[in-house]
Structure 1
Amino acid sequence: MSGIGVLREGPLHAAVKDLLARPGDAAEVRVEGFVIDLVRASGELVEIQTGGFSPLGHKLDALLDGHRMRIVFPVPAERRIVRIDEHGEVLSSRRSPLRGNALDVFDRLVSFPSLLAHPNLVVEVLLCREDHVRAPEAGRSRSGRRRRDPGERRLDEVVGSVELASPADAAALLPEGLGAVEAFTTRELATAVGCRMILAQRIAYCLRAMEVFEDAGKRGRAPLHRLVTR
């Protein structure tokens, strides 16, 4: 793998890029004025995004019509919280009760949900086992708030992946029984998929934009959604 230099990146981003690299790929290549994480020998442009998708907006606007593009999004399916001292020695380690899954991609797709229908775009969710490494807690600030090191994410292992190349692939992340329900609220959607209300709201927003959900009126003040049958 060759490149023109490595831009500033966190350890998770760097580890995923190294893991994905294949013979003949080039890293950190300029394509029409934009730096791309990986350019496949086949011509596919690969962007690894550990945060929000909105910073990719200009790249997608400029490049997507003329290039096949893949957004790789690592999700912590399993996470360990590791505390280290100033010398990097491990002080403590515990497994986090929080577990991510492929539905977490809707937290990011809110930036441009309708683009998943574009024939040149694939979003790949990497389900990872990660360490979240933090320094010891540093007491409280003058305002009384507890100071916390935001830490950094480090890849341990990739345990699975899910590819979304169309709105139908996004719909396939929903529970099978949801299609048998005539109409449902966002809160009922949250219960069905087992997620937070805020994520259910983003799922509903994205799937409406993709025309997977349609308006089904209201129940009281709560908007109702219905799966579109084709």
Structure 2
Amino acid sequence: MTGTKNIQSNFIGTLNETTLHADLKWFLSESHDQLEKQVENYVIDIVRDDLLIEIQTSNFANIRKKLENLLQNYRIHLVHPIVRDKWIGSLDSQLNKVIRRRLSPKHCSYIDIFEELIRIPTMITHPNFSIELLLVQIEEIREKNSQVSWRRKGWGINDKKLVRILERKQFKNPDDFLCFIPKSLETPFTNLELAQSLKKPVRLAGKISYCLRKMGMLNVVGKRGNAYLFDF
């Protein structure tokens, strides 16, 4: 695990947060920090002197307006976990016990941040904003729920818990995101060529090029057939 704290999976936070969110807040906090402090009209996860630290485990759209308003007057550090490994536990609600576990076949990496970054692509250009990615392992607890979609076969998510923090990576300005573009990729390039170079779906490559354009790191310089050409 990165850092010096052991993960306390039984840590209980406030404001109906998930155990994962509470665990991350506990891991990131320092002795002099203020937790769940109100700043203007918002509750902030961690306040460290003049820095506001916000943890967002999913869906950046939910926090976009909050960040936009606070960035006018405060420095903000957004922390987001990237789930490399996820164990799925099936909870027997009568026994209140996880009866079986399996490892999910889905494994994410840092580059998957663009799935969320597409909701706030210009925010990294603000001098008061920075983002930190935590590469983590988690456990997702599921239990039977009759109101859950048939696609999940009646199993709903009960909670998520942090198992381990593997790595940490910070981004402070748009230039930092160019690390995701392979040096071997010839310019100009299309989304298809970017996808092939990364060995990732074209859909993700499109989100990467969109975000980098919004950051001012990439330009459309023409077309090859129906595909846009990008260059720095």
Aligned partner of 1:155 in structure 2 is 162
1:106 aligns to 2:114 (yes or no): yes
TM-score, length-scaled by structure 2 = 0.86
Return the alpha-carbon distance in structure 2 between the equivalents of residues 22 and 140 of structure 1: 39
Aligned partner of 1:217 in structure 2 is 222
1:126 aligns to 2:131 (yes or no): no
Does the 8 Å contact 1:130/1:154 carry over to 2? yes
Aligned partner of 2:178 in structure 1 is 171
Return the alpha-carbon distance in structure 2 between the equivalents of residues 151 and 75 of structure 1: 19
Return the alpha-carbon distance in structure 2 between the equivalents of residues 51 and 149 of structure 1: 17
Please identify, of 69-78 and 151-160, the stretch whose mean Cα deviation from structure 2 is larger. Answer: 151-160
Deviation at 1:6, TM superposition (A): 2.3
Alpha-carbon spacing, 1:82–1:140, altered in 2? closer, same or farther (3 Å): closer
Alignment counterpart, residue 64 of structure 1, candidates 59, 71, 81 = 71
Alpha-carbon spacing, 1:145–1:8, altered in 2? closer, same or farther (3 Å): closer
Structure 2 residue matching 1:149: 3-state secondary structure = strand
Return the alpha-carbon distance in structure 1 between the equivalents of residues 113 and 88 of structure 2: 22
1:155-207 Cα deviation digits (max 9, x unpaired): 001000111111111111322222xx022221221222232332222111101
Aligned partner of 2:189 in structure 1 is 184
Return the alpha-carbon distance in structure 2 between the equivalents of residues 140 and 113 of structure 1: 33
Please identify, of 80-89 and 31-40, the stretch whose mean Cα deviation from structure 2 is larger. Answer: 80-89
Aligned partner of 1:24 in structure 2 is 32
Structure 2 residue matching 1:9: 3-state secondary structure = coil
Alignment counterpart, residue 75 of structure 1, candidates 78, 82, 94 = 82
Alpha-carbon spacing, 1:88–1:94, altered in 2? closer, same or farther (3 Å): same
Alpha-carbon spacing, 1:214–1:76, altered in 2? closer, same or farther (3 Å): same
Aligned partner of 1:204 in structure 2 is 209
Return the alpha-carbon distance in structure 1 between the equivalents of residues 132 and 155 of structure 2: 31
1:86-107 Cα deviation digits (max 9, x unpaired): 1232222222221111111111
Alpha-carbon spacing, 1:27–1:139, altered in 2? closer, same or farther (3 Å): closer
Alpha-carbon spacing, 1:19–1:97, altered in 2? closer, same or farther (3 Å): same
Where does the alignment leave 5 or more consecutive residues of structure 2 unmatched? Answer: 1-12
TM-score, length-scaled by structure 1 = 0.87
Please identify, of 96-105 and 119-128, the stretch whose mean Cα deviation from structure 2 is larger. Answer: 96-105
Amino acid at match of 1:208: R
Does the 8 Å contact 1:46/1:70 carry over to 2? yes
Does the 8 Å contact 1:138/1:146 carry over to 2? no
Alpha-carbon spacing, 1:140–1:10, altered in 2? closer, same or farther (3 Å): closer
Where does the alignment leave 5 or more consecutive residues of structure 1 unmatched? Answer: none
Alpha-carbon spacing, 1:113–1:149, altered in 2? closer, same or farther (3 Å): same
Deviation at 1:139, TM superposition (A): 11
Return the alpha-carbon distance in structure 2 between the equivalents of residues 88 and 107 of structure 1: 34
Amino acid at match of 1:217: G
Does the 8 Å contact 2:144/2:154 carry over to 1? no
Q: How many correspondences in the alignment? A: 219
Deviation at 1:8, TM superposition (A): 1.7
